[in-house]
Structures are given as C-alpha cells and as structure tokens.
Amino acid sequence: MKKHYTTVKLAFSSALAALVMAGFTSCGKHDENSPGVEFMPDMYRSPSLEYYQTHTVDGDTLDNAMKPVKGSVARGYLPYAYPNTPEGYEMAGTNLHNPLPASNRELWEKDGEVLYGKFCVHCHGATGAGDGKVGGKLPGPPPAYNGALKNLPEGKIFHTLTYGKGTMGSHASQLTQEERWKLVYYVQKLQGPKETPAADTAKAAAPAVAAKH
C-alpha cells in the first residue's frame, strides 16, 4: 500500500514538473518579441488623444478638454483694460488708481520693498536713482524716481510694470497685479513727496505730448 502511494506521488510530481517546464518553454517560442497573452489591452494601448481636440471614442464624439467660454474671467483675476499704446499709457495715468487701500500703506510698502530688492534694484538702484549695476550698463540708464520721475502718476507706474517701457521689460508674468500695486507704493515712497499739488496736474498733462513722439 505504501509503495503504491509512493508511485502515485512520483507520477504526480513528474507530471507537474513537465507541466511547469512546458509552461516556461512555451512562452515566446513563436515570436520572440511577442509579450504573450495581454490581459486588458486597453491598459497597455490607450488611444493617444491630443488635448483640445474633438475625438470619437466608442461612438461618442466629444471634446477632451473644454475651452473657457469666450469672455470668461478667471476667479481672482482682473483683466487690464488699458492697451499697450501711448494713448493707453496716458489713460492709465489719468484714470487708474491703486486698489490697495492707502490705510495699509506701510504694509504694502514693506512688501513692495522686498519685491523691489528681487526684481528692480539691479537696474534702478537702492534709492531709485537709476544707478543699479545693470542699469548703469544700459544704453539709457533708468531715470531717477525722485528726479525726472518725481511726479509720475501711479497709473503710469503700473502701466509700465505691466507692459514695460524702452529697455525695461514687462513684469506682468513675474508679478501678480497685487504685487505690482505694492511696488507702486514702494516706488512712490522713493519718489518722495510730489513737488506741488498744483504743478502735479500740469506736469501729468505735459509728458502726454512728449510720450507720443
């Protein structure tokens, strides 16, 4: 009885070993490059869909990413209404005012000072005299805030930060609108008090003619 049991056991293990061997050797015999049986081929071979395109998948036609509706405005973002033209510059100078409340002026100036140290000081210099290390190498160094730019209105400062002017590039991609307005407060601090309120309005109108030509 015992011997019989051993024979059955031996026969069974040999059959199992043969099966395992067959299993190993059968893979890739026909085509070396074939991965064999694929379970869920969709997972390996997903359809390659280009973004912002219309596709038909399983009979359904749809856009795989919806474009925003024309004229939509992203949350927290205010479109800038003044065009990058001499007229837009003048309009900004007359109509555009800092939306950050002046009651927190000192706070904005502090943040503005930090931003100024990162984005502006190398051209405009620490006191805004236009004597930064890079500014001095420009064909025309930046004018001094408390000199030629003393009475530059806040709207124009913001406009220049947004679009750039001359050799100064646009800072719209590096600085949010709020950061640009904080910088306006800091530039105003460097401008110092305006010369005289009466001369202020006269001067604001005068460069309008000069800037156009």
Q: Which is nearer to ligand HEC, 85 or 167 (CB)?
A: 167
Name the DSSP class of 41. H
d(CA 198, CA 174): 36
d(CA 1, CA 22): 32
Q: Number of residues in contact with ligand HEC, rule: CB under 6 A?
A: 22
CB neighbour list of residue 95: distance below 8 Å, 6 or more residues apart: 155
* Beta-carbon count within 10 A of 115 CB: 18
Query: Minimum distance from CB of 91 to ligand HEC (Å)?
Result: 13
Query: Minimum distance from CB of 139 to ligand HEC (Å)?
Result: 9
Choose, by CB under 6 A, the member of 156, 177, 181, 188 that binds ligand HEC.
Answer: 156
Q: Which is nearer to ligand HEC, 96 or 161 (CB)?
A: 161
Choose, by CB under 6 A, the member of 92, 100, 187, 190 that binds ligand HEC.
Answer: 187
Q: Which is nearer to ligand HEC, 18 or 107 (CB)?
A: 107
Half-sphere exposure (CA, 13 Å, Cβ side) for 6?
3
Q: Is 167 in the site for ligand HEC (CB under 6 A)?
A: yes
Q: Please list every residue from 123 through 152 that binds ligand HEC, using CB under 6 A.
A: 123-124, 134-135, 138, 140, 142, 149, 152
- CA distances, 147 to each of 92, 93, 101, 191, 203 (Å): 21, 18, 26, 8, 13
Residues that bind ligand HEC (CB under 6 A): 119-120, 123-124, 134-135, 138, 140, 142, 149, 152, 156-157, 160-161, 165-168, 171, 183, 187
